[in-house]
């Protein structure tokens, strides 16, 4: 499915596989193209932000995070529910599923 036809109707972030080495992070405002290394970096950042202590720290302070993605070409705004949803989305993308 061409990524330009995707309409993000909710407030969450989604990931889409476009071609062999091209992925898209679909945000409520824009579509961000990502390479695989950029996907791995996004995964690392989101995992670091969603540890118990990191989440507590976010909640105790601004209650949101600003995150650079795609080699600092884009800045995204995430509230806690969006952050947790994106963590699940990324986990599902990388999940260990042996396809029959």
Partner 1 sequence: MNTIVRKQMSINTDVMDMLNNQIAMEMKASASYLAMASWCDQRELLNSKAFFYKQAEEEREHAMKIFTFINDNGGAAISPSVTNVNNDFESLRAIYETGLEQEIAVTESIFKIFKAARKADDFITEVFLQWFISEQSEEEDTFRSIIDVFDLMEGMPLKMIDERLPKE
Query: Which stretches of the chain bind partner 1, using CB under 8 A?
Result: 17, 20-21, 36-37, 40-41, 43-44, 47, 93-99
Nearer CB in complex with partner 1: 43/74: 43
Tokens of 82: 């969006």
3-state secondary structure the chain: CCHHHCCCCCCCCEEEEEECCEEEEECCCCEEEECHHHHHHHHHHHHHHCCHHHHHHHHHCCCEEEEEECCCCEEEEEEHHHHHHHHHHHHHHCCCCCCC
In whole angstroms, the minimum distance from the beta carbon of 16 to partner 1 comes to 11
In whole angstroms, the minimum distance from the beta carbon of 17 to partner 1 comes to 5
In whole angstroms, the minimum distance from the beta carbon of 91 to partner 1 comes to 9
Nearer CB in complex with partner 1: 40/75: 40
Nearer CB in complex with partner 1: 63/98: 98
Query: Hey, which residues does 26 pair with through a beta bridge?
Result: 14, 31
In whole angstroms, the minimum distance from the beta carbon of 65 to partner 1 comes to 19
């Amino acid at each position: 499915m061409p990524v330009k036809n995707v309409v993000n109707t909710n407030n969450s972030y989604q990931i889409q596989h476009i071609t062999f080495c091209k992925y898209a992070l679909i945000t409520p405002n824009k579509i961000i193209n990502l390479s695989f290394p950029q996907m791995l970096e996004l995964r690392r950042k989101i995992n670091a932000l969603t540890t118990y202590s990191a989440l507590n720290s976010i909640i105790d302070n601004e209650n949101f995070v600003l995150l650079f993605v795609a080699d600092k070409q884009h800045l995204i705004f995430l509230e806690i529910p969006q952050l947790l949803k994106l963590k699940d989305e990324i986990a599902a993308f990388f999940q260990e599923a042996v396809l029959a």
